[in-house]
Chain A
């Protein structure tokens, strides 16, 4: 009975914490009142810097430098490489957040939402975030997972391209519907 008695306090405390968290900075996260077709933040910014980052992080570059510069400069170079890797990982995460934001906007403006899809996305995002933290920690600790970072970048770029194509398709379809509606013979339009 004691557990049941205290369970109410614990549940209320948890729900209170959740409620307070949900009130926090909700002003800056508001859904638009119009479809986002023209204003979607499609990511892809990291792609522009990918060749430079790959070069900066490549092992051959490091080996070449190790033969030509003093150890102190090499240590500084290693430190800077780590900073670049961490910065790149942070940029990837930022892009993922932007993509998730796009997904949320689409869901909030859709007349029908599939619970399975939404749950799956929430779990996938949670999975990504905890793995991202582990990777970030390992990079910070001094391991340099360069090929894997490259893979991550490719993956997100592919994701962005795919989304961009889908959004373009959406725009074309909307334009076609608008044209059909403005044509004189509207009775022939079958929405389904």
Chain B
């Protein structure tokens, strides 16, 4: 147990060091101008770690003050991460104005629905309120990223490797947190120390992925595609759908004939 604790502390130190390194790397590469919300999230995350270190040093690990500071700041950091994910969604789809108009509503709607669902099915204990809210937000981010990439694939939108790696980092960490929070909710005290360790490990994975992704300077603005006149979609889209409908009717007709024959 003592060994695990020492390893956790060492890991925590390494993560803190890497967080600072990533913040500096982003500033050095001037990527903070391209991804301001992502940068804000990294800074807040780093500041939270410093604050927690001081809080634990002064009041100890299990004190109520430390607990309040930890969860209070965690809320802020999770919110900053949600904004960074929204920034990623915008970076991928915003150049395609029509799809973006459609996607952001769907992404926001899904995120709200998933948040409400996660909140509704959580256990109604007051000490688990923050944990449930945290899981609900993580769940919303996981859904948003998954749907975002389905959209991008469906409409054949190019996703740059950097944005893809950043998204994978967010996705894996949020997935992990949902699972970790769900297990913690059930076995609160028995799982707490392992929960911390696994959380740090998952974050370390994302951190390394982001560092690899942001080792180069990103272009300030990606070239926007030349859009078609609005009327073209209005003319062509219903025509395509009408033909597809007729095609399906033919298939239904065929199926019935086939059934009668056999």
- Does A69 make an interface contact (CB < 8 A)? no
- Indicate whether A111 reaches chain B with its CB closer than 8 angstroms: yes
Binary per-residue interface labels of chain B (166-180) against chain A in the complex, 1 for a CB within 8 Å, 0 otherwise: 000001000100110
> Which A residues lie within 8 Å of B175 (CB)?
12, 15-16
Q: Which residues of B contact A159 (CB under 8 A)?
A: 240, 243, 246-247
User: Within the complex, what minimum Cβ distance (angstroms) separates B115 from chain A?
Assistant: 13
| CB-defined contacts of A5 to chain B, threshold 8 Å | 182, 186
Using C-beta atoms within 8 Å of the partner chain, give the interface range for chain A. 35 or more
Contact with B along A18-56 (1 / 0, CB 8 A): 110011001001111111000000000000000000000
Interface residues on B, range: 35 or more
The answer to whether A135 touches B254, judged by C-beta atoms less than 8 angstroms apart, is yes
Known: A99-B240, A110-B227, A145-B258. Is A30-B157 also a contact (CB below 8 A)?
yes
User: With A and B bound together, what is the CA distance between A146 and B149 in angstroms?
Assistant: 41
In chain A, positions 136-151 with a C-beta closer than 8 Å to chain B are: 138, 143, 145, 148, 151
Query: CA of A8 to CA of B117 in the docked complex: distance in angstroms?
Result: 10
Residue of A nearest to B159 (CB): A26
Contact B239 A163 (CB under 8 A): yes
Q: How far is the CB of B148 from chain A (nearest CB, A)?
A: 9
Complex Cα spacing A103 to B135, Å: 38
Please choose the segment from B49-57, B61-69, B91-99 that sits at the chain A interface, where 4 or more of its residues have CB less than 8 A away: B91-99
Q: Give, as a whole number of angstroms, the nearest-CB distance from B43 to chain A.
A: 27
Distance in angstroms between the alpha carbons of A120 and B257 in the assembled complex: 26
Cβ of B254: which chain A residues have Cβ within 8 Å of it? 131, 135, 145, 148, 151-152
Within 8 A of B (CB), among A150-175: 151-152, 155-156, 158-159, 162-163, 166-167, 169-170, 173-174
The A-B contact count (CB < 8 A) is 201
Closest to A109 in B: B228
A124 to B246: give the CA distance in the assembly, Å: 10
Chain B residues lying within 8 Å of A12, measured Cβ to Cβ, are 142, 175, 178-179
Smallest CB separation, A112 vs chain B (Å): 5
Q: Which of B182, B229, B247, B262 has most chain A Cβ within 10 Å?
A: B247
Q: Say yes or no: A112 contacts B156, CB within 8 Å.
A: no
CB nearest to A32 among chain B residues:
B225
18 chain-A/chain-B pairs, Cβ below 8 angstroms: A8-B179, A12-B179, A26-B159, A30-B157, A30-B158, A31-B155, A33-B223, A35-B227, A108-B225, A110-B97, A115-B102, A121-B240, A124-B247, A125-B244, A135-B254, A135-B258, A148-B257, A159-B247
Seed contacts A12-B175, A121-B241; 9 additional CB < 8 Å A-B pairs: A8-B182, A19-B145, A101-B156, A109-B96, A111-B228, A125-B244, A138-B258, A148-B258, A163-B243
Chain A interface (Cβ < 8 Å from any Cβ of B): 1, 4-5, 7-9, 11-12, 15-16, 18-19, 22-23, 26, 29-35, 96, 99, 101-115, 117-118, 120-121, 124-125, 127-128, 131-132, 134-135, 138, 143, 145, 148, 151-152, 155-156, 158-159, 162-163, 166-167, 169-170, 173-174
